[in-house]
Each structure stands twice: as C-alpha cells, then as structure tokens.
Structure 1
Amino acid sequence: MRFAAMILVLILAISMSRFATADNANVQITVVDQSGAPLPCRIHLHDKDGKPQRAGDLPFFRDHFVCPGEVRMQLPVGDYRVEIERGPEYEQYADSFTVAESAVKELSVCLKRIANLAAEGWYSGDLHVHRAIEDIPLLMRAEDLNVAPVITWWNNRNVWSARERPKNPLTQIDGNRYYHVMAGEDEREGGALMYFNRKQHLPITGSTREYPSPMTFVNQAHEEGDVWIDIEKPFWWDVPVWLASGQFDSVGLANNHMCRSRMYESEAWGRPRNEDRLPAPRGNGFWTQEIYYHILNCGLRVPPSAGSASGVLPNPLGYNRVYVYCGDDFNYDTWWQGLKAGRSFVTNGPLLLAKANGQLPGHVFASTDEQPVEIDMEVSLISRDPIAAIEIIRNGKIERTVPIAGKSQAINLGKITFGQSGWFLVRAITDLEHTFRFASTAPYYVEVGSDKRFLSRSSANFFLDWAVERIARVPLKLNDSEKLEDVLAHHQRAKKFWQQVAAEANAD
C-alpha cells in the first residue's frame, strides 16, 4: 500500500512538472546599439501582477536584472511589461508583450544613444555601491558607469573576514572603467560616512550607536594615509561636527533617499525638515539642497557627490551619479582630482553641462581690485523627463528661473553680476511628482576684494543651533560618563567653530 502511494505521488509530481513546462515558453531578448553590436543593459520585466522576473544567474536586484546584450529565459504564458535602460545617456525602451504557449517570443531592441559624455571628457561615478564584487564588471557595463568604489566593510559586516584581501584593490576594465573594492561605510546614530581609496578597512565593527565618535575613525584614516571621506547625506545629525573638522572631501547631494521609483520621504534618523514647508514626496530632496547651500554659505567649498546604495535600497547601480570632467586625461586618479576641484555635476536623470564665461564648474572668478564680476551663463540640457525651467542658485537663493520648452536644448541663461564674494550653481529639476529627479552643477566661486568668501550669519547660526540640538541628544543613548565626555568633546569643538563663523560673518 505504501509503495502504491509512493508511485501515485511520483506520477502526480511528473504530471505537475509536465503541466508547468507546458505553461512556459521560451523568451529571447536582444539589445543592440545603433551599430548593431550587443549592448549591455538593465531590464525591468514584470508580469501582469507586477511581479519582477529573474533571468537565470544574471545579476538581479529588487526589480531588475542586467544582461550583456542578450538573454534567454523561460516565462509562464501571459502578459508582461518591459523597460530597458542603460544609464541616462541612452533613451529608455518601454513596451508590453504577450508570451503564448508553445511559442518562442523574440524581442529585439535598439537603444539609441542620446548623449556621449565620455567623448566630451565627462566620466561618471557612483559613490555608494553595495553589490557583489563578482557582479560589478557587468553592472558597470550595463549602466555605462566609469567609476565604482565598492563597499566591502561596514559596522556589522566585513567581506574580508571570510576571503583574502586583494593586493591591489583597484581593477580596470574596458579601458575606461574602474572599480575599487576597499570602500567602507560607518553608519551609526550621527549618520553615515563613506571611506574611499584605502588599502585596508578601519576597525569599526562592534562600534555602538554613539561610541566611539565617528571622528575617532576619521582621524585614524587621515593618520594612515590618503583617504577620501564623503558625508553620505547632508541632513545626518553629526554633519555640523564633520564639517567643523575640515576633514571631509564631498557631501551627497544626489543620495539614496532619491530612488528611481520613489522617494524616502522622511529623514530617517537625521535632522527632520519642516514638512509643512517642504511636503512629501519631494520635500526631502529640497531639504537636502537647502542644507548644502547653507554649507556653501559658510565659506566651505565642498563639492557635491552622488550615490545610489544599490544592493541595499531600491536603486540600480549608477541611478544617482556624479560626472567629472577629465578631458583627454581620464584615469582613476584624475577622476578624483577633478571631483576635488568641483569640475562636476550630479544627476539622477538630466544631463546638465554648464559653462560660466567659458569655465567649468569649480572655477574661481577673482577680482582683486574690487571691481564687479560679470558672469555669462550657458548650459546644455538633455533629459528624458520633462523639465519646466533651469534655475541659477546664488548664495543659497534662486537668482533666476529660465523657462524651457522641450526636454533637450542649449540655452543662454543670461548674465549675473557679483559686487561682492559669493558662489553660484545651476540646477534643473524634472516635473516628476513621485521622486526628486534633478541635476545640479557643482558650485562656481567668486572672490571680490579682501573678503574672499561669502559668510552668512544665518547659515552659521543654522549649524550652531543644530550642533546645540545634537549635544542634547547624545546622552540619550550614551550614559557611560567617561565615554560621554569623549564623544561630547567633538561636539563642543564644533559648537565653538560655528560660533566663530557666525562672529566673522560678512553677510546676513
């Protein structure tokens, strides 16, 4: 009897297997460029219920997979929606199709390139990458990304505890793509810091929410040699401390709160915005920009950066990216040098190339004889999404709004005049309502006379008030008196720094 039951179960299993196979069909997707060559790309493929589909062993995350230009897969019969992309320099393909029983579905797509920024000397990077090391080459090709520092160590995990650390953490592929596998992230109560270009990890594993201070590891990193430290988002609670230390290289203006399909609408455990003034879903994006402008208003020349957190949050690699101008001299080192100089723009969609009096972002216009400086602004904009206007931001405020028609064009924004020192940049925000999709140049700087930096009293007090709030919060999660004293020392130094900036202010 038991034998007969086993036979029946086996027959049922075989029958179900045949039934499942009968309800599947072969699907082949081929993607090429305009020359007909296979084009690595990202594919979002959903069934009629919105369930994302995988493609064998190809790298998959959340709602998409990447392929080298061709993929063969089996799908259940039914209706599907597909979107195919390759970073912001290619048009998007979107369509629906039906998979029929006992038929081969072939989908051939040619993605048209709408920009070739590398040919113009601009190279892209994503500074927040949590993807598997072995997937990085295909991911970079599929997103047409040039620089990717891969995070392999952070507070609760270190990849190198289970595998041998490479002698050379930097790998070059295709001649114009680089990935570095020794990036790290220290993410705790005060926020997140990103460490790049180190040869080994920092001993952050086991740190508590408040102790030791993130500044302990910042100081260690600088003592041990070359390092690039990025403030991952400008609204993290410890930002006033980090800025006051002067040991940071960039700040995340296009960060992972901004996603392809949505916004993270709150500031998580960062300093909250006024939601009545800056309502969801896009309020966090405007708050991020406001804080960055306060940083610049305090005379701190910190370039903006971009990161997607693909592998943790629902973004593809390179969704948030920073383009750096290297001209004909692109390599890993010159890219970081260009970022340091601010020859860059950040984006999660639009491509915004700007020149002021023929100069790239990051340029310092100097007038030693105190004569006014006149700036003539020209931009080139390419966008797949509608944009109503381009804005010039001057000393933290909208100086000029220039309406535009269409998605792509070259335009002269007119002239602006500086009678005293200051800064300006150009931004373009799309009309999308579900996410904050934008582009922003890095700042330009203007020096007129002896006061070479614009120092706003209100911006300094903005960070001073923030520092005082943070000092009151630290004891809530740290009650060991000795440890508390050690951590608060950094915050007290920051408080004094912002008091001094406010005292030296030369503008309201």
Structure 2
Amino acid sequence: MNSLSKLNTAVLTALILLAAAWWGRSALSDSDTLGEVEIHQIPGTRKTGKPAKAVLQSSGSLKLSVTEAGRPVFCRVNVVGVDGNYYEPVDNPLAPWSLSRLGNRQGKGPFRYYGWFFYCDGQCEVVVPAGATRIEVWKGFEYRPVVVKTEVAVGQPTAVDVPLKRTVDLAAEGWYSGDTHIHLDRRSEEEDQRALDLLAAEDIRFGHILCMNDTRTYRPVMDQQIWHQLNGIGKESVRRRGAYQISSGQEYRCGTFGHICLIGGSRLVDADGLKTDPNNWPPFGMVADELHGLGGFAFHAHGGYSKEIYIDFAQRATNGVELLQFAEYRGISLEGWYHILNAGYHFPAVGASDYPYCRALGDCRTYVHLSAAPTFENWNAAAAAGRSFFTTGPLLQVTVNDKRPGDTLALPDGEQELSVRVRMQSLLSPVDEIQIIVGGEIISRKQLEEAQRTDPVDWTDTLKVQDSTWVAVRAFSKSASSRDDSEAHTNPVYVSLGQRPVRNEASILWLLDKVEERIAFQRSREFPQREQVLNYFQASDDALRKLLKSTD
C-alpha cells in the first residue's frame, strides 16, 4: 500500500471518529432537544446536568469501590455533584469511552436516562463539589441499577462501597448476550484488553469487533479498512477474559446495495479483489457465499436499508438481518420482516448497537440460547438459526409447547392448540405491553401496570391455529416523551401442521413489489456489470414467483 493510500485511510478514519463525537454536540431542533433532556435528566428531578470539573478550593474526593462478591468489577458510573453536574475520575484508562467523548448519537434511542457516564474498573477517585453527591452504577441488562447518596466534605476523602449482585442470571439458563456490530481498533494487546474491559462493564458476553471499508471503494487488505483489526479475523482473533470474549469481523459497505456484517469468517472477503467497486459488483449474496466458505455468517446491517436485502433473502443467500438498532426496527422494519417470514423463509433477526455510532455500547443486543459450549462458533451458528431474542433491555424468554425460538413445532394436520409461555423482566426501563404475534398478527396482548413493568412477569396464554405459521413475542414501551425505549422481540417458533409450508400469498406479492423496485433501480444505472447484477436480481423474482404458484 502506498503512502498516499495510507494517508487517505488515516484521514477518513479521523473524520469518522470526529463525526461520531460531533453527534453529541451538534445543534438540535426543539423536538430533539426534549428527547435529549430524557437522556441527561435525573429521573424524578428537573436537573439536566453537564460534564464538569470541580473547583479544588470547594471540593472533596470521592473514593469509589464497586464490587461483586467482594471483588472490584467493571461497570458504568455516574457521579452527580450537589450542583447537578457530572464528574469523572482524573486518571481513568477508560475515559476515552465516556458518554461525553464517544457514542451519544443525538436523535437516536433508546431514550432513557444515561446521564453523562464513564466506565471504570470498579475502583476510582473522583473530585466533586462538597455536599450531597449521587452515585449511579449500571452493569448491563441483568443487574438492577444501584443508586447511592453520600455527603462529601471540603478537602476530605469520602469512601463509598457499592456492592453489585446479578439480579437475573440468563447464562445459567443457557442464554448468552452478544453484540454483532461494534467498531473498535484492535491494534495491540492493550487495545484488546480495553475492549474486554468495555464488554465486562456492559456485561456483553460476545463482542464482534468489526472493521469497515469506505462505501466508495473496497480492497481486501486491512490497512485499507477503518477500525483496524490487526490480531486476526474470526477464530484466530478470539480473545477471552473470564466470561467475556471478542472476535474480529468486518462490515462490508456500499451505497447501492447497503451494508452487511460479516462475522466468523477466517479472513477478509476478497469480493472482486483489487478491482472491487462495492457499489457495482459483486452483489451481497455472492459476498456472503464467499464468507460461508470461510466459515462465517452474513447479516444485513441496519435492517438492510431496504435495499439488496429483498434480493438476497429470496435466494437464501444471506443469514439474517440486523433489525433492532437505536431502539427501532430499521430498514425493512417489522413489516418487511413479517412478510419474509409469512412467505415461508427462516430469516432470523438480531439486535446490535453499531457502537460508537449509536447512543451507548450494547444498547441493543442479542441473547442466543446455547445447548453447547459458549464459544463464538456456537454462538454465531445459533444466531444464524434464530435461537434468540433481541432487546434494548427487556429479558424475554418464550416457549411454544416447550419449543424455543428457532425451533420447529411439528403437529398433525387440523386445528391445534398452542400454549405460549412468556417470562419477562426489564431491569433498566419499564415495559408497558407484551404481545403474542402469530403470522404477523397480534393475537394476544398483556398490559403491564405498576410493579409488573419492571418485576418478573410469567404469563401463559393458549391459542388455536389451523394452518402452518410462526409465533413470536414482543415486549415494549415508549419513553416519557413517547420516544423509542424498551424493545424486545423473539425470533419465531415455526409451527408446521401436517408438514405444510408457510405460504402467504399477500406477503409474497408484497415482497415481489420490493424486488421489482430493486430491479428497476439497478436497470436505471449504467455500470459495467449491469447485466450480471440484473440476472442475479431476476433470480430472486423467479424464486418468489415460483412460491406464488405454490399458493394456487
């Protein structure tokens, strides 16, 4: 790689990092400002503080220790002074990832209280104004947040110990959290340890750390990527510390087809080699085919941006879709995903944060159920099989006649009764409603009130079906200003009656319209591989029309 190319890549990386930081500082409309108030306003108060530094003459020091079973643990912390502002440790290796420096993408959910947090290893010293001081501690979705108040005297150290205890242990029941879309540099052992620190602080068991290309060009070499992964790709790159693991992959990006997350492969994909123009050739389905040969799985990022995803699913070329992000269902949205499922495709969804281009690390994540050892190979395969739920916080365990998401429930022909059991708890933000969804329709709903909104809920309902279908469950609520906050959705349990496939004519016709829109778009462009791309896209149209005939 020549020095000019290296310079261009370095400049682009710097600009992207600057943009990520700027999202937390740019001007907002009045409506957006109200949403940002929810992020930084202490619940139950009118205080909307800012990051600040204490004046030494009128301050004291807070010596904080956050422990679990007597040992310091990585966590996320707010220290709020008597003035309502937020204070950080002077010396903190994790300071670059505090909310005032990275993440905090304005206008994006989840819209809930975050304050102006910092990460720490469980022990830190913070200089704060003398007076009443509030300490808030979080650690992922399975710990109930803890709030401690203390008085800090001028010129005096004040020691505070905050014990944490896991409230819900989903790993004990075979459920393991993961984020399939994180951007961090992995150029050294030190950076690997920082990544593991951050995963531990947010209690993310499996972290996929992705490089990415400029959307205008692609070269299958790491020094042409943004967010360098220099410790290998896939299995070679796995590092583990205690319960937390990281592995490197890539986000392959372009403007015409969308973005796609490639995880688990043994190296960067070649695509079309050094002559690759990602906006023209090859299409994502062919990139995914190469990845599958490397042992990996391909998930359309950002809900597929409603682009080539409509082509690839029809040929079963890709493994699924990153649907829940920013606490919203992006791209194809729930509507498009439900239509794909109604056409008879097993096309799993995941939730992922896209850190740091989001509100906070792991604010959307996926819980996968494993019956084998908790390794990346097993986690990735289970995610691609849909053995999961995805969430911004609500912990959602569902069975249908004792079958979990991703399973097929085979029953005889004729009307059948299904027993749907839902266990849910949301420790970070309340849930207002749980819905049972059958074939894309809400069949049953449970409204939650008062303590039910955050305490454990165990709800069983029965329903009858007369044809093959799928069953999933959603739990959600809006924020105080009616913005996206609590969201969780399971992948389907597939119900097969008499071995008949799921075939919904209206959904297939809806999907055909989307495919034809994508074909028309490619036909309107002039580029060297136009006919090859059109042939590939036409194969999806043909596949759906064949399905449509089977509904006659």
Normalising TM by the smaller chain, what interval? Answer: 0.7 to 0.9
Matches within 5 A, 1:45-444: 53=88, 56-58=92-94, 59-60=96-97, 61-62=102-103, 63-74=116-127, 83-94=136-147, 101-133=154-186, 134=191, 135-155=194-214, 159-160=222-223, 164-166=230-232, 169-203=236-270, 210-215=279-284, 217-218=286-287, 221-222=290-291, 224-234=293-303, 235-255=305-325, 257-258=326-327, 288-316=333-361, 318-327=362-371, 329-367=373-411, 369-384=412-427, 385-405=429-449, 406=452, 407-432=454-479, 433-444=482-493
SS of equivalent residue, structure 1 residue 473: helix
SS of equivalent residue, structure 1 residue 492: helix
For residue 137 of structure 1, report the CA deviation from its aligned partner.
Answer: 1.0
Name the counterpart of 1:499. Answer: 545
Segments of structure 1 that go 5 or more residues without pairing to the other structure are 1-18, 272-287
Query: What do the CA deviations read for 1:287-341 (whole angstroms, capped 9, x no partner)?
Result: x22221111111111222121011222222x221111122463322222333233
CA RMSD of aligned residues (A): 3.2
SS of equivalent residue, structure 2 residue 442: strand
AA paired with 2:509? N
Matched, 1:28 2:63: yes
For residue 414 of structure 1, report the CA deviation from its aligned partner.
Answer: 1.7
Between 332-341 and 20-29, the greater mean CA deviation after superposition? 20-29
Distance in 2 of aligned mates of 1:342 and 1:223: 17
Say if 2:264 and 2:380, in contact at 8 Å, map to a contact too.
no
Name the counterpart of 1:474. Answer: 522
Say if 1:27 and 1:104, in contact at 8 Å, map to a contact too.
yes
Say if 1:321 and 1:346, in contact at 8 Å, map to a contact too.
yes
Percent sequence identity over aligned pairs: 24
The count of aligned residue pairs is: 457
Distance in 1 of aligned mates of 2:294 and 2:61: 54
Between 135-144 and 432-441, the greater mean CA deviation after superposition? 432-441
Query: What do the CA deviations read for 1:15-70 (whole angstroms, capped 9, x no partner)?
Result: xxxx965466533322123x332221112456768678575321513354322211
Change (3 A) 1:30 1:467: same
AA paired with 1:426? V
AA paired with 2:63? Q
For residue 424 of structure 1, report the CA deviation from its aligned partner.
Answer: 0.6
Say if 1:46 and 1:53, in contact at 8 Å, map to a contact too.
no
SS of equivalent residue, structure 1 residue 169: helix
Between 441-450 and 402-411, the greater mean CA deviation after superposition? 402-411
Say if 1:151 and 1:185, in contact at 8 Å, map to a contact too.
no
Name the counterpart of 1:456. Answer: 504
Say if 2:89 and 2:127, in contact at 8 Å, map to a contact too.
no
Distance in 2 of aligned mates of 1:127 and 1:43: 24
Say if 1:298 and 1:459, in contact at 8 Å, map to a contact too.
yes
Between 117-126 and 424-433, the greater mean CA deviation after superposition? 424-433
Say if 2:265 and 2:291, in contact at 8 Å, map to a contact too.
no
For residue 374 of structure 1, report the CA deviation from its aligned partner.
Answer: 1.9
For residue 123 of structure 1, report the CA deviation from its aligned partner.
Answer: 0.9
Length-normalised TM-score, structure 2:
0.74
AA paired with 1:215? F
Change (3 A) 1:211 1:145: same
Say if 2:439 and 2:469, in contact at 8 Å, map to a contact too.
yes
For residue 164 of structure 1, report the CA deviation from its aligned partner.
Answer: 4.8
Distance in 2 of aligned mates of 1:52 and 1:495: 57
Segments of structure 2 that go 5 or more residues without pairing to the other structure are 1-53, 104-115
Say if 1:215 and 1:490, in contact at 8 Å, map to a contact too.
no
AA paired with 2:250? A
For residue 100 of structure 1, report the CA deviation from its aligned partner.
Answer: 6.1
